[in-house]
C-alpha cells in the first residue's frame, strides 16, 4: 500500500512509554510541524494563524500547546465549504479523497495523506498487541465500507489469503446471513473480532437466540468501533463470545483517537492527536465536546476541529505505565441524544431502556423527527401484543412528555444505516450550544 505503517508502529511502540512531560514535548514538536505546513500550504488556516498573531511563532517553531486556544475552533461546515483552501494536494505521498455522510447525512468531502493512513493503521496494530494479537494473526471484520461492498470478492480474497482477515458484510445482517457468519467465525477461529458496536451486539443477540455459543479457543478480544458501546451491549457480546470487549474511538474525518487497554482504560492516541474537552462556552471542562487537532493531517489540516462527540476527561494515569492520556468515557454523539418537548436533553439510553424492558420487542429503532414526534420501528417476537404496544407508548411519553406523538411501525427487519451500523436511536432535532456548532 506504500504506507509507512510499520515504521510508524515501531515509533508508537517507543513513544507510548514516554513520561507525561516528555509526551507533551513530543506533541509540541509535532504541532509545530503541522502548523508550519498549514501556514505554507492551507490558505484558510494561514489566515486564521495570522489573525491570531501566531504566524511568527509558527515560523520559529515556538508554538506551545497552550497557544492552540488562541485559534478559533473549526466545524464540519468549515471543512466542507473551504476544502479547496484547506487541502495540500502536493503533500508527500499524495492525497486521497474521502466522502462521509456523517451523522447529519450531509456529505463531508475531505482529503488525507499517507501519514494519517499509516498512523491510524499503526495505532490499531499497537492496541492489538496490548491484547496479545500480533500483526498478521487471524481477525474477523464485521464491516461495511463501500469499497469492500463494491469489490467484495477481490477484497475478501486479499484479506483472507494475504493478511489473514475475514470480511463479513455488516450491510447484510439477515438471520440467514448471521447463521452463516457464526459458522464462518467458528471455522476461522480468529484471535480478534472487529466491527461496529451495534452490528456485533446484533450478531451476539442472534447467536444467543439460536442457543449458539461459538467455540473460539484462539479468540482474545472483540473490538467495537464506530459508535458508543452501551453497557448492555458489552455484557451481551462478552457473554456470547467469552472474551473482553475493547472499545475503539475515532472518526473518518478526525482519525483514530483512543483505544481501550486490557486494564480497562481508554488510552488516547497522544502522539497523533491533541484532544481538548470544551463546554458550551468553549472553556475547558471535565465533560464536554471533544475538539481535536490531528497532528498527522498535513494533507488537509484538522486544527481545533469540533467533533460533535461528548466525552469525559480523566485525571488517571495508565495502570500499564504508558504516557498516553486517559479518556474516561465517550458519552455519546450528537445524534445519540433525545430532546424532550420541555427542552430537556437526555442520552439515548433513557429511551433505550424503555424498549429493552418490554416483553415482545425483538429489535427496535427510534427516530426523533421533532420534539413531539417519535417514529418507533419494532421487530416483534412471539410475546408482542396490545399490552406491549401500550407499554411502549406509555413508557416513551413518561420520559419525553404526554404530548409526544408516537408513530409505531411493526417490521420484519430493520435496515441498517447507509454506513452499515444498526443504530438504536437517531435524532433529527438540533441541539443548542457547542454541539450544534459541530454538526452544522
Instruction: Label the pairing between strands 373-380 and 361-370.
Output: antiparallel
**Which DSSP letter does residue 227 get?**
S
Output 377-382 pairs: Cβ under 8 A, ≥24 positions apart: 377/409, 377/411, 377/414, 378/408, 378/409, 378/410, 378/411, 379/410, 379/411, 379/412, 379/413, 379/414, 380/410
**What CATH fold (topology level) applies to the domain 349-423?**
GMP Synthetase; Chain A, domain 3 (3.30.300)
Class of CATH domain 5-119+251-335: alpha beta
Under DSSP, is residue 266 helix (H, G, I), strand (E, B) or coil? strand
Mapping DSSP to helix (H, G, I), strand (E, B) and coil, where does residue 426 land? strand
pLDDT of 175 higher than 70: yes
- Max CA-CA distance within the chain? 71
Region 132-243: CATH code? 3.40.50.980
Express each pLDDT in 112-147 by its tens digit.
999 999 999 999 999 999 999 999 999 999 986 444
pLDDT of 91 > 50? The answer is yes
Q: What is the pLDDT of residues 343-393, one digit of tens each?
A: 776 767 678 878 878 889 888 899 999 999 999 999 998 889 999 999 999
User: pLDDT for 303-314, tens place per residue?
Assistant: 999 988 888 888
- 257, 249 contact by CB (below 8 A): yes
Mean model confidence pLDDT for the chain: 87
**pLDDT of amino acid 100:** 65
Query: In 245-384, which ranges are E strands?
Result: 245-251, 255-260, 266-268, 273-278, 287-294, 305-313, 326-333, 337-339, 345-347, 361-370, 373-380
Lowest mean pLDDT among 9-13, 266-270, 321-325, 364-368: 364-368
Closest CA to 311 of 291, 282, 335: 291
- Domain(s) labelled CATH 3.40.50.980 in the chain stretch across 132-243
Q: Which residues contact 417 (CB under 8 A, 6 or more apart)?
A: 423, 426
pLDDT at 195 over 70: yes
How far is Cα 309 from Cα 23, in angstroms, rounded to an integer? 24
Confidence check: pLDDT of 53 > 80: yes
- What's the pLDDT score for residue 323? 96
pLDDT of the residue at 440: 33
How high is the pLDDT of residue 145?
Answer: 46
Kindly report, as residue ranges, where domains of CATH 3.40.50.12780 are found in the chain: 5-119+251-335
The label of the residue with cell 447467536 reads: 207
pTM of the complete model: 0.77
Q: Find the angle CA(68)-CA(72)-CA(74) to the nearest 5 degrees.
A: 105
Dihedrals phi, psi of 106, to nearest 5 degrees: -90, 120
Identify the pLDDT of residue 414: 87
Return d(Cα 163, Cα 167) in angstroms, integer: 11
CA dihedral 381, 385, 391, 393 (to 10 degrees): 90
φ/ψ (deg, to 5) at 246? -110, 130
Cα–Cα distance between 119 and 117 in angstroms, integer?
Answer: 6
Can you tell me the distance from the alpha carbon of 369 to that of 377, in angstroms, rounded to the nearest whole number? Answer: 13
Q: How many CA atoms lie within 13 A of 375 on its CB side?
A: 12
Identify any residues that bridge with 193 across adjacent strands, giving them in sequence order: 140, 222
Give backbone dihedrals phi and psi of 31, rounded to 5 degrees, phi first.
-60, -45
DSSP for residue 300: S
* Residue range(s) occupied by CATH 3.30.300.30 in the chain: 349-423
DSSP string, 58-72: HHTT---GGGGGGSP
Amino acid at each position: 500500500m506504500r504506507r509507512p505503517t510499520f515504521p510508524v508502529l515501531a515509533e508508537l511502540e517507543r513513544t507510548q512509554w514516554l513520561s507525561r512531560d516528555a509526551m507533551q514535548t513530543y506533541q509540541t514538536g509535532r504541532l509545530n510541524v503541522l502548523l508550519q505546513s498549514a501556514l505554507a500550504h492551507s490558505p484558510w488556516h494561514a489566515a486564521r494563524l495570522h489573525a491570531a498573531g501566531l504566524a511568527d511563532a509558527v515560523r520559529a517553531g515556538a508554538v506551545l500547546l497552550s497557544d492552540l486556544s488562541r485559534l478559533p475552533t473549526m466545524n464540519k461546515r468549515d471543512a466542507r465549504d473551504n476544502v479547496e483552501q484547506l487541502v495540500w494536494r502536493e503533500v508527500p505521498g499524495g492525497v486521497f479523497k474521502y466522502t462521509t455522510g456523517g451523522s447529519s447525512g450531509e456529505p463531508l468531502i475531505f482529503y488525507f495523506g499517507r501519514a494519517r493512513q499509516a498512523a491510524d493503521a499503526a495505532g490499531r496494530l499497537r492496541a492489538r498487541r496490548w491484547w496479545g494479537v500480533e500483526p498478521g494473526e487471524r481477525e474477523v471484520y464485521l464491516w461495511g465500507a463501500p469499497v469492500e461492498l463494491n469489490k467484495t470478492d477481490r477484497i475478501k480474497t486479499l484479506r483472507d489469503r494475504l493478511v489473514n482477515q475475514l470480511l463479513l458484510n455488516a450491510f447484510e445482517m439477515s438471520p440467514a446471513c448471521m447463521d452463516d457468519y457464526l459458522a464462518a467465525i467458528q471455522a476461522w477461529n480468529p484471535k480478534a473480532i472487529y466491527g461496529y458496536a451495534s452490528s456485533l451486539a446484533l450478531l451476539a443477540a442472534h447467536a444467543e437466540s439460536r442457543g449458539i455459543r461459538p467455540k473460539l479457543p484462539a479468540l482474545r478480544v472483540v473490538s467495537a468501533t464506530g459508535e458508543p458501546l452501551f453497557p448492555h451491549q458489552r455484557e451481551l457480546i462478552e457473554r456470547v463470545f467469552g472474551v473482553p470487549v475493547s472499545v475503539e474511538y475515532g472518526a473518518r474525518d478526525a482519525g483514530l483517537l483512543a483505544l481501550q487497554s486490557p486494564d480497562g482504560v481508554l488510552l488516547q492516541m497522544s502522539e497523533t492527536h491533541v484532544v481538548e474537552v470544551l463546554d458550551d462556552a468553549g472553556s475547558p471542562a471535565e465533560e464536554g465536546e471533544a475538539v481535536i487537532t490531528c497532528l498527522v493531517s498535513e494533507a488537509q489540516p484538522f486544527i481545533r476541529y469540533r467533533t460533535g462527540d461528548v466525552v469525559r476527561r480523566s485525571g488517571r494515569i495508565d495502570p500499564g505505565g504508558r504516557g498516553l492520556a486517559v479518556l474516561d468515557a465517550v458519552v455519546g454523539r450528537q445524534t445519540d441524544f433525545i430532546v424532550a418537548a420541555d427542552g430537556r436533553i437526555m442520552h439515548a439510553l433513557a429511551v433505550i431502556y424503555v424498549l429493552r424492558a418490554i416483553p415482545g420487542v425483538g429489535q427496535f429503532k427510534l427516530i426523533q423527527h421533532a420534539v413531539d414526534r417519535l417514529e418507533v420501528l419494532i421487530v416483534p417476537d412471539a410475546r408482542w401484543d396490545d399490552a406491549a404496544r401500550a407499554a411502549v407508548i406509555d413508557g416513551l411519553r413518561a420520559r419525553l412528555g404526554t404530548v409526544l406523538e408516537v408513530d409505531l411501525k411493526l417490521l420484519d427487519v430493520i435496515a441498517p444505516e447507509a454506513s452499515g451500523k444498526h443504530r438504536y436511536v437517531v435524532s433529527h432535532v438540533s441541539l443548542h450550544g457547542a454541539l450544534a456548532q459541530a454538526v452544522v
